[in-house]
A and B are shown apart, each in its own frame.
Chain A
Amino acid sequence: MPYWLYLVIGGIFINNFVLSRFLGICPFLGVSRKTETALGMGLAVIFVMGMTSIITFGLNLLLKELNIQYLQTIVFILVIAALIQLIEIVIKRFAPSLYTALGVYLPLITTNCAVLGVAIMNVTELATQNIFTSFVNGISSGIGFTLALLIMAGIREKLEYSEIPEKFKGFPITLITASIMAMAFTAFAGLSF
């Protein structure tokens, strides 16, 4: 099996960003009230993760060359924030419908730790590091994030209609649901090919 396929399955299921790495929890809880908004957020995350994976890979080569890799966190944050601003301007101009669909979620991702996480893991965890594997890892991590968000939104929509004890309504039951989902996803950890 080619290495990139491992990355795809790993990114979506085994190392799911939300449910096994516990990154990006705030949008996971905040934007999972409706499936449509969850999908919008998810698409924005996939897009941004793919873009940052490519850019930060190039930047990391530069940092490695100068032997100042300890700067990677601050450089990556800077680049991600700037990149999202640029993407926002371009999308606003050329694809207004996409802009309204992504809406507020695009600027929200500026400070999303999952995006920074994927940029850093690209340069620390991948066995073969090239621009293609980085990109694949970024995209599949984004898909994993979207999957978790969509499942959560689906469950929360159903929860609206179920009888929950008064004290557990709202965030408590959401956190319990999230923990059960995370436990379910740990089953993928034993997956082997």
Chain B
Amino acid sequence: MDFSKEILYPVIILTGIAIFFSILIAIFSKRFAIKKDLQVETVLGLLAGANCGACGYAGCEAFAKALVKGEAKLSMCNATNKECKKKIGALLGTDASDEETVVVCACIGGIMCEDKYEYQGYGDCASVELLSGGRKSCPTGCIGMSTCVSSCPVHAIDIIKGVAVVNQSKCIHCGICVLNCPKSLMKRIPKKAMYFIACSCHESGKNVRINCKVGCIGCGICAKVCPEGAITMVDNLPVFDYDKCIGCGVCADKCPSKCIKELVLPQKNDE
């Protein structure tokens, strides 16, 4: 066997090509390196990296660039947590004192709410909404046809008993559902909130009861029983002042319709 021809040549050729190309790549990557903006890189590292697009930019990288340029506001991103926002704010010298919020569905009607008509055919909430304002007899009732479910980038919303329910352990608070819900039922509430009103209907009590068994009738009992006076009635719906609320839960207890719900947030290990 000819040692040099059978073994030496292939080894030399293969390693030769490999070394040649690795040197070439090393030279090229040095020679043609793009000066990356360090600030953009740092901001990008601090952002949530969910690439949800709720800020209106094509992904977190584009948003980071816009932030550094000063075109975008930090509050446009809802997926990034508070500490990182503070760091970004300190880095860019902008104020980041936004309160952290979570998203909830302010309707618990669903199958407890009467249907105006039976909808058959193609579409989701948006197309049903075009047909005389949705299939529910309540003007602000959750249609339950999954526009929010299909728009959610992290599959955090389910339709349970005909009404959208946000799974807080999956939700990244990006707010795409808030933009997409034709009834604007997806609402932002402060993260520190412990109770919220799960009804959006401003109708009088009688009209609410005709349509829906669980809607808020605007009786005002919650406002009366609240020991801290944190609830005021506005247009037949209670409005919470979360700075005053101590989370005693009396309002939810006494509510005749049981439409004041406790906000159950997942316990984070690092908190």
Which A residues lie at the B interface, using CB under 8 A?
Answer: 59, 62-63, 66-68, 71, 74-75, 78-79, 82-83, 85-86, 89-90, 92-94
Question: Closest Cβ of chain A: how far from B249's Cβ, in Å?
Answer: 45
The number of residues on chain B lying at the interface, defined by a beta carbon within 8 Å of a beta carbon of chain A, is: 16
- What chain A residues lie within 8 Å of B21 (beta carbons)? 78-79, 82-83, 86
Q: How far is the CB of A126 from chain B (nearest CB, A)?
A: 23
Among B10-62, those with CB < 8 Å from A are 10, 13-14, 17-18, 21-22, 24-25, 28-29, 32-34
Beyond A66-B9, A74-B14, A75-B17, is A93–B25 a contact (Cβ under 8 Å)? Answer: no
Q: Which of B10, B25, B34 is within 8 Å of A86, CB to CB?
A: B25
Q: Is B69 among interface residues, defined by CB-CB distance under 8 A?
A: no
Distance between A74 CB and nearest chain B CB, rounded to angstroms: 7
Please name 10 pairs of A and B residues whose Cβ atoms are closer than 8 Å in the assembled complex, sorted by A. Answer: A63-B13, A66-B9, A68-B9, A68-B10, A78-B21, A89-B28, A89-B32, A90-B28, A90-B32, A93-B33
**Would you call B268 an interface residue if the criterion is a C-beta within 8 Å of the partner chain's C-beta atoms?**
no
Which among A74, A86, A92 has the greatest number of chain B C-beta atoms within 10 A? A86
List A contacts of B32 (CB < 8 A): 89-90, 92-94
B5 within 8 A of A: yes
Further 9 A-B residue pairs, CB within 8 A, beyond A83-B21, A86-B25: A63-B13, A66-B13, A67-B5, A68-B13, A86-B24, A89-B28, A89-B32, A93-B33, A94-B32
Give the A-binding residues of B (Cβ under 8 A).
5, 9-10, 13-14, 17-18, 21-22, 24-25, 28-29, 32-34
Give A91 to B163 CA distance when docked, in angstroms.
50
Report the tally of A-B residue pairs with Cβ distances under 8 A.
Answer: 45
Query: What residues of B have a CB within 8 angstroms of the CB of A85 in the complex?
Result: 25
Closest CB in chain B relative to A61 CB, distance in Å: 12
- Whole-angstrom distance between the alpha carbons of A67 and B4 in the complex? 12
Knowing A86-B25, A86-B28, the reply to whether A75 touches B13 (Cβ < 8 A) is: yes
C-alpha gap A92/B29 in the complex (Å): 10
Task: Identify the closest chain B residue to A86 (Cβ).
Answer: B28
> Nearest CB to that of A94 among chain B residues?
B32
Contact in complex: B29, A89 (CB < 8 Å): yes
Bound-state CA distance A89–B18 (Å) is 18
Residues from chain A with a CB closer than 8 A to the CB of B10 are 68, 71
Q: Which residues from chain B contact A92 at a C-beta distance below 8 Å?
A: 32, 34
Other-chain contact of B13, A71, A93, A94 (Cβ < 8 Å): A71
Write the chain B residue with the least CB distance to A62.
B13
Closest CB in chain A relative to B242 CB, distance in Å: 44
Question: Given the complex, which residues of A lie within 8 Å of B14, measured CB to CB?
Answer: 71, 74-75, 78
CB distance from A59 to the nearest CB of B (A): 8
Q: Please state if B34 and A93 are interface contacts (CB–CB under 8 Å).
A: yes
Q: How far is the CA of A110 from the CA of B225 in the complex (A)?
A: 68
CA distance A83 to B5 in the complex (A): 28
- State whether A78 and B13 are in contact (beta carbons under 8 Å apart), knowing that A85-B25, A90-B28, A90-B32 are contacts in the complex: no
Give the residues in chain B near A78, CB-CB below 8 Å: 14, 17-18, 21
A93 to B14, CA, bound (A): 29
